[in-house]
């Protein structure tokens, strides 16, 4: 009697956290990787631009890695590719918009020529080594999202990716219930399902409802309308443009990712807009306020984003004035609440009216709520179940929900990043642990992604550290004490007094160059200090230390 080969499931990111989604699947001598996402830094990760998964396991087994398969084009599912592909180069598989976004990203990093792209359509089946993978259409907050049905040996594993069961999507492309049911009838060994929205009861509202609420707002606005949204949410952008056209307004795009993503979506036919509707931002002054919609990035209050610069009154082309209406048409991502709140306060200071999720239905989630998760479980009818994509409490609640619809408790497993799970047609067990974790990426300059370098904690320590401590008056924004500058692993303070004095002057000049109102915003001050010190040490020493500004309000 031959021993059954196990199907190995190895999450390298996305379990116990929001973002960083990455799942290795191994059978026989082959590995495929589902998604390759990043995570934006948490508050304590000072000086860090993005966070990506530790892929030591893939590097150690790079000869086995046959493909990266991408479920959709969000940053938390594709954003780490430019860094990971340098270490583990394998062909990419995804739908047209997903591959379009990836190509745009890889071009900035000079990786287009060495990367193999494979575009798949929903219901396409591809064979990769011992794996047979079908792409199944699902609805999400981005066009062209898919789930994956992965077959190897006598086993079938379904990975939902991010999904919701939208009954009236903007483009009319509903989730492919027939394929999920087909596999459910044939027999699914393991289901890996999105847990992000498990805490919300009922069903997630349809994306198409947002269009109606946007039209109501547009109907009542007499001045300029500024809409901040994720540049990847093509359906949302389509509805903003449709509302603008309905009320005789032109649309101006602002933000590099907004311009590039819309261009990609239009070229692939996913976004329908007449040429005369879109204007260049240089034509802004030629359009009366009541005939204008500005579609911009920056809905999360990012320090250097277009909308934050408008709020702080230091945007080159756009000045917020009395009568403007600003619509934040996106979710407040956990950890960004303070920055968003601060940005909204400054928009109100400029005289704008701000409309956001808590006061109007200008955003709906792209993730399935509890009842939809039950429907997915009942369609697929898996023998074994592992919840994915979510913080640990989400995974636990999703596991309980699965047990509630009849999956035996012994067939449900809650796991962490790095856990190695082996599955056969009649058994699922946790058999080990692989190296996993978070790798920190620090950029040479804000937005200068071409020069971004990948460094783990050891690399960071070798590059050294600069700590800048300065006390600022909470009332006036003036420097009270400092700046005091400390270095570790970079230069000795005794041998570099002149350089450190220049650094102190640079910090003072950077802070004094910021207008008084903005000085009350620690994120803004920290960013200016970090840029000033980074430029100085890069020019003087050709070194790229981690810079940690500490601002103390007195």
- List the catalytic residues: 194, 367
- What one-character-per-residue DSSP string does 450-466 give? GG-EE--HHHHHHH-EE
Q: Which two tokens stand for residue 231?
A: 């540049």
Three-class DSSP category at 182: helix
R_g (Cα) of the chain, nearest Å: 25
Distance CA 399, CA 412 (A): 6
User: SS3 string of 356-373?
Assistant: CCCCCCCCCCCCCCHHHH
Question: What is the CA 343 to chain-centroid distance, rounded?
Answer: 20
Question: What is the CA 121 to chain-centroid distance, rounded?
Answer: 23
User: SS3 string of 539-553?
Assistant: HHHCCCCEEEEEEEE
Helix H or strand E segment including 146: strand 146-152
The DSSP symbol for 13 reads E
The CA angle 436-442-448, to the nearest 5 degrees, is 130
Helix H or strand E segment including 236: helix 234-246
Phi-psi map region of 288: left, alpha, beta (phi>0 left; psi -120 to 50 alpha)? beta
Do residues 454 and 491 lie in contact, with contact meaning Cβ atoms separated by under 8 Å? no
Place of tokens 């101006």: 252
Distance CA 279, CA 268 (A): 20
> Shortest CA distance to 78 belongs to which of 185, 149, 161?
161
Phi-psi map region of 254: left, alpha, beta (phi>0 left; psi -120 to 50 alpha)? beta
Residue 119 bridge partners (DSSP): 94
Phi then psi for residue 281, to 5 deg, are -65, -20
């Amino acid at each position: 009697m031959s021993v059954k080969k196990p199907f190995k499931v190895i999450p390298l990111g996305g379990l116990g956290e929001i973002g960083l989604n990455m799942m290795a699947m191994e059978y026989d001598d082959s590995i495929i990787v589902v998604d390759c996402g990043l995570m934006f830094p948490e508050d304590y990760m000072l000086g860090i631009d993005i966070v990506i998964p530790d892929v030591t396991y893939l590097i150690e087994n790079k000869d086995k890695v046959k493909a990266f398969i991408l479920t959709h084009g969000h940053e938390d599912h594709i954003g780490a590719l430019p860094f990971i592909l340098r270490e583990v180069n394998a062909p990419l598989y995804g739908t047209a918009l997903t591959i379009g976004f990836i190509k745009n990203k890889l071009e900035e990093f000079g990786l287009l020529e060495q990367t193999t792209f494979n575009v798949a359509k929903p219901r396409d089946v591809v064979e990769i080594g011992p794996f047979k993978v079908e792409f199944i259409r699902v609805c999400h907050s981005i066009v062209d999202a898919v789930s994956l049905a992965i077959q190897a040996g006598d086993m079938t594993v379904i990975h939902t990716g991010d999904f919701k069961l939208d009954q009236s999507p903007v483009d009319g492309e509903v989730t492919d219930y027939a394929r999920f049911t087909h596999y459910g009838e044939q027999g699914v060994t393991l289901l890996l399902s999105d847990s992000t929205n498990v805490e919300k009861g009922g069903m997630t509202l349809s994306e198409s409802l947002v269009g109606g609420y946007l039209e109501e707002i547009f109907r009542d606005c007499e001045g300029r309308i500024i809409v901040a949204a994720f540049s990847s949410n093509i359906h949302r952008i389509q509805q903003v443009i449709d509302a603008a056209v309905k009320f005789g307004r032109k649309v101006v795009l602002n933000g590099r990712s907004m311009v590039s993503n819309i261009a990609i979506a239009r070229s692939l036919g996913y976004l329908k807009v007449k040429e005369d509707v879109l204007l260049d931002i240089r034509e802004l002054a030629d359009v009366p306020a009541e005939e204008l919609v500005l579609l911009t990035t920056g809905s999360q209050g990012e320090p250097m984003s277009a909308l934050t610069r408008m709020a702080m009154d230091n945007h080159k082309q756009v000045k917020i004035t009395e009568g403007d209406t600003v619509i934040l048409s996106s979710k407040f991502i956990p950890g960004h609440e303070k920055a968003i709140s601060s940005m909204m306060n400054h928009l109100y200071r400029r005289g704008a009216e701000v409309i956001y999720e808590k006061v109007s239905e200008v955003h709906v989630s792209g993730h399935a709520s509890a009842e939809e998760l039950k429907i997915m479980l009942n369609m697929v009818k898996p023998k074994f179940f592992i919840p994915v994509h979510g913080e640990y409490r989400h995974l636990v609640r999703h596991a309980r929900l699965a047990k509630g619809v009849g999956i035996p408790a012994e067939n449900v497993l809650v796991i962490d990043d790095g856990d190695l799970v082996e599955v056969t047609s009649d058994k699922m067990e946790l058999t080990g642990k692989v190296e996993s974790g978070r790798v920190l990426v620090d950029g040479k300059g804000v937005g200068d992604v071409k020069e971004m370098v990948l460094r783990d904690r050891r690399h960071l320590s070798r590059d050294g550290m600069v700590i800048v401590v300065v006390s600022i008056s909470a009332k006036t924004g003036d420097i009270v004490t400092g700046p005091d500058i400390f270095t570790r692993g970079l230069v000795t303070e005794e041998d570099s007094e002149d350089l450190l004095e220049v650094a102190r002057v640079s910090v003072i000049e950077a802070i004094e160059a910021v207008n008084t109102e903005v000085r009350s915003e620690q994120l803004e001050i920290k960013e200016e200090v970090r840029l000033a010190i980074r430029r100085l040490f890069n020019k003087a020493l050709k070194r790229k230390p981690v810079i940690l500004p500490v601002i103390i309000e007195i």
